[in-house]
Structure 1
Amino acid sequence: VYYVTNLNDAGTGSLRDAVSEGNRTILFKTSGTIFLESPIVIQKDRITIAGQTAPGGGICLANYGLSISANNVIVRYLRSRPGDVITRPGDSTKAVDAMYNAFGTPIQNPYRNIIVDHCSLSWSTDEAASFYAVADFTLQWSILSESLYMAAHPKPTAHGYGGIWGGQNSSFHHNLLASHSNRNPRFSGSENNNQPDLEYVDFRNNVIFNWYGGTYGGIGGHQNMVNNYYKSGPATAGTSRKKRLLSYSNSTAIRHGKFYITGNHVNGFADVTADNWLGVDIAAGVSLDSIKVNTPFIHTAINTQSATDAYTDVLNNAGASLPKRDTVDRRIVKEVQTGIATFGDSSFSVSGMVSPSGMIDSQYTVGGWPTLNTTPYPDDSDNDGLPNWWEARQNGHTTDSTSVNPNAFDTDGYTFLEKYINSIPPSDQQTILTGITGNRINGGDTVKIDFQINWASDQFDFALYRSTDNLTFTNVKNVASDINKTTYNFEDIFSANSVVYYKIGSSRNSDLETIHYSNSIAIGAIEGTSALKTLPTLEKASNEINTFMVYPNPANHQINVQHSAASTGSTITITDMTGKTLSSYYPLINQANSTIDISRLPKGSYLLVFKNNSIQQNTIFLKN
């Protein structure tokens, strides 16, 4: 594990230094924009960049981009927005992609096993992202937007391009291409490496918005184009461009490319959506039969959606959405949803366009690089990439915060470091309350309330609310969240003679007016007081709530759940810590104890939820 601790171009603690050695997982203890003096080049094998670990707003590269010249590389949740600023003395131009791969030596020996996931790439002076002459490659769930139309490129022509995409067993899925003048994308085919028998590209479930020149290329390649969503925008001038899926021509000696095209949705053109080949423009001298195939080419298996479902999911989830989306991506998504661009420069001017076109020459046209604030990073005493609180939770919420081996494999085949990285939620997501319990202490006149949340965060305020009738609640205590804690407690002085109800309220520091509440719990009166004599039914109910428990905890093979007497419709649900339901059970009616087999669950922490009429009770248990 290597922690990036600063935003310097180079030197100890910088991202450039982090990628200088292989066999590293790179995590971030800071957020912000790194203004580069030259591209960052990954030249060592077996590197993972986990941008989602940055605390606060995330990481962005500016001035130059990221080059991948190695094998077994994963880049996740990173922004690269180079822009048109020239930093090298004496230079008057620069041709910069936001992210790209280098060619192998020779080109027929490509770099392989590369994944680019949930990245946000824009403001390039050439292509936003070009990946071709590469093998076993995936670009997924990324946003490629606003390549600069007339910026600092050495050629005195427009270069607002999306990208050149290709490779041997390459997969491009669930990406958004928005507001590029051309190459949306350009399929590389075999024009560079002359290996047509090896060139297989799968292009599916992508969203393409606001193009002028669309998708073309693919000479000497095999391309699947499946279930993509095409939505023309203000720069997509003319009916022929709006309905076009692919333009194909071939003036080379290389054999024709082959295309399997199906399931694509062309917004506003039902005929092309029904028959995709009506949206294919073939040059003179090329026959349809020479490029069309009716059977898909072999490709990496993914969860393929309909084009319309992919449109929704891409807009909701693509790009550097962890730790949270920046203002650029939020604006781009809104433009796709509305079909209306916010900005446009006058250099792009074509007949039939609508202003603003969405085609820009400079990042400053749209406000420049947004500020990405940083927040504290959780304590990690052994610097193994696993925060202390997370290790303690794996050990059953003990004080042992250093004994989990980050490189050990869990039963699901992932290392514990991977499991931690893969479970990080958005920093702007509402915290999830996973358990609340209460009991009387100090002779009964003090009530102690304990509650747990799903993820340590310092972006929230918690409040304790009290009620005597379970209807009207009053705020009696407050506590700020802590980046190193998932367990909290309140103590409240209240008469032992009365039943009292409590619930927890949670609000973001940036929005204290919006409060999310837990379910309420009831704390019974002390036995022998006057309250018990006048409220026997209520006391019974509160006792049932307070006897809710799971044992043994931790457990290996089965757990016993003590709960209130089950009624018709009662359920016990087990979820993982992200809220995904793993199993559900229906306790026997009138029974107050259930035994559940957990032998098939992997080791880890789980949330158990018991629902009985209007009562919901939660607790966490640990599977050894």
Structure 2
Amino acid sequence: MKLPAIRKIALALAMGACSLTAHPSASASGMDRAAIDVRGWAADTKGGAGGAIVRVTNLNAGGEGSLAAALATDGARIIVFEVGGVIDLQGASLNIRKPHVTVAGQTAPHPGITLIRGGLSVSASDVIVQHIAVRPGENGKPKKSGWEVDGLSTSGASNVIVDHCSFSWATDENLSASGARFNGKTPEDWPNGTSHRVTYSHNIIAEGLRNSAHGKGEHSKGTLIHDNAEQILLYGNLYSSNVERNPLVKGGAKVAVVNNLIHNPGKRAVHYNLIAHEWGERAPRTGAVTVVGNVLRGGPDTSPKTPLFSLGGSGDVSLFMQDNIAVDANGEPLPMMGRYTADTARVIQADQPYLPPGLAPLPAQGLESVIYASAGMRSWQRDAIDFKILSDVAEGRGNIVDSEAQSSGYPAYAPTRKAFVADDWNLADMSPKAGWQSLAVKRP
């Protein structure tokens, strides 16, 4: 694909308008209505489409009019925001336990919705979360105190899409997919007990806290896909300044890693590991990992010769790799593959990629421009934290941090208000009828 075409796609993605389920050379005229351009194996989910409109009217951690109350509502629902700013969770986390919900952060007035001092968990089916930021931070907790919070995690969830969100400063993973690993009578049953049919697309996953409140000490982690999770798609995300798990795929899981930009990993970029003592007497299952169209670019904290994909543990993995770029901070080539344990695991070269139907990856060459335009919670008008992260990546800066205070620090945005008008939105996909750029606030 020629560079001008890449730039056109980047602009379309920034407006939330480009569908890559068609070939990327398709005309923009056929793409201008899709709010989520790639759905992956979660394509069947409609979230809360067709359900009640539930309005969030304040930034309280709980109570009437809060996001917590909206999430606890029964029935299919689209959660919209008539307020923008920061929701301080005060050390708790929000839970999505009831199915058929869309969290439409794009409806909030500038600067959007940011959750701090807590995280978000999903244990329901048919869930769409879009255009919010989750930034747990240390919450004033002592080092190694055991305050271990994910930005967003799924637990036994299915048909989930997390799209155009921003995750940073988690004390556990920034973004993960998990659940009970060995539920069921046979190994064929195991994937049904953990998270499956999950798409994480166009997110910023950055600056997991290193030596912070996690009980193990160092725990700067991007994304964990737990054992036996299947039909997981990681698409179009930016990973920046996480020590490892960019992502980590554990034993028996089946994951497609497509068109992601991985910048300044510490020790590892993409890696696979079935840990024998966690499986006990159970026979290992062969995992499947497809790594297509990604870019790894080393940074100030990246260990020399860090490979794009590395293998550890004692379980085999079926691996398909194609059209990836891996360079260090000076543009010199990095290895495509490597190992980090001396155990018995083998790479089995796959003949065909493990991909959801209809997905046509972009070429790795030129991908960075697309990521800068598309990833994160509000690509049409960045908040200061995402702007810093993107600028650091673009200029080869940035560092792995131990506290949010070493980066941008918790935001203190003044609350803003704007009534939600249903007629202004395409309720089937929660795209604005006037186009995404119409959401930008014009500055004097």
Q: Give the structure-1-normalised TM-score.
A: 0.54
Aligned with 1:217 (options 272, 286, 295): 272
1:153 Cα deviation (Å)? Answer: 1.1
Provide, for residues 98-123 of structure 1, a one-character-per-residue CA deviation record: whole Å limited to 9, x for no partner: 11012x3xxxxxx2100000010001
- Unmatched segments (≥5 aa) in structure 2: 1-52, 179-193, 275-285
1:370 Cα deviation (Å)? Answer: 2.4
1:294 Cα deviation (Å)? Answer: 2.9
Q: Which of structures 1 and 2 has the larger relative contact order (alpha carbons within 8 angstroms, sep 6+)?
A: 2
1:296 Cα deviation (Å)? Answer: 1.4
1:165-564 correspondence to structure 2 within 5 Å? 165=225, 167-190=229-252, 199-214=253-268, 215-219=270-274, 220-238=286-304, 240-241=305-306, 244-251=307-314, 255-267=315-327, 278-281=336-339, 283-284=341-342, 290-321=347-378, 324-341=381-398, 358-378=399-419, 380=421, 386-387=422-423, 390=424, 416-418=426-428, 421-423=431-433, 425-426=435-436, 429=437, 455=438, 459=441, 508=442, 510-511=443-444
Aligned CA distance change for structure 1 residues 5 and 312 (closer, same or farther; 3 Å)? same
Q: Is contact 1:28–1:53 with CA below 8 Å preserved after alignment? A: yes
Task: Report what 2:79 is aligned to.
Answer: 26
CA–CA separation in structure 1 for the residues paired with 2:130 and 2:326:
30
- Unmatched segments (≥5 aa) in structure 1: 105-110, 191-198, 342-357, 381-385, 392-415, 430-454, 460-507, 512-624
Task: Report what 1:478 is aligned to.
Answer: none
Q: Is contact 2:380–2:439 with CA below 8 Å preserved after alignment? A: no
Aligned AA (1:84) = E
CA–CA separation in structure 1 for the residues paired with 2:206 and 2:439:
33
Work out the number of aligned pairs and report it. Answer: 359
Q: Is contact 2:133–2:377 with CA below 8 Å preserved after alignment? A: yes
1:371 Cα deviation (Å)? Answer: 3.5
1:237 Cα deviation (Å)? Answer: 2.8
Aligned CA distance change for structure 1 residues 294 and 422 (closer, same or farther; 3 Å)? farther
The CA RMSD over aligned residues, in Å, is: 2.6
Task: Report what 1:125 is aligned to.
Answer: 171
CA–CA separation in structure 2 for the residues paired with 1:54 and 1:247:
40
Q: Is contact 2:311–2:345 with CA below 8 Å preserved after alignment? A: no
CA–CA separation in structure 1 for the residues paired with 2:322 and 2:331:
14
Q: Is contact 1:56–1:323 with CA below 8 Å preserved after alignment? A: no
Provide, for residues 453-482 of structure 1, a one-character-per-residue CA deviation record: whole Å limited to 9, x for no partner: xx588x5xxxxxxxxxxxxxxxxxxxxxxx
1:226 Cα deviation (Å)? Answer: 0.5
- Which of 112-121 and 19-28 deviates more? 19-28
Aligned CA distance change for structure 1 residues 25 and 319 (closer, same or farther; 3 Å)? same
Task: Report what 1:524 is aligned to.
Answer: none
CA–CA separation in structure 2 for the residues paired with 1:86 and 1:418:
41
Q: Does 1:159 align with 2:212?
A: no
Aligned with 2:113 (options 59, 68, 85): 59
Aligned AA (2:198) = F
Aligned with 1:15 (options 57, 64, 67): 67
Task: Report what 1:573 is aligned to.
Answer: none
Q: Is contact 2:200–2:234 with CA below 8 Å preserved after alignment? A: yes
Structure of larger gyration radius: 1
1:287 Cα deviation (Å)? Answer: 7.8
Percent of matched pairs sharing the same residue: 30
Q: Is contact 1:148–1:361 with CA below 8 Å preserved after alignment? A: yes
Q: Does 1:5 align with 2:57?
A: yes
Q: Is contact 2:385–2:408 with CA below 8 Å preserved after alignment? A: no
Q: Give the structure-2-normalised TM-score.
A: 0.75
Q: Is contact 1:9–1:35 with CA below 8 Å preserved after alignment? A: yes
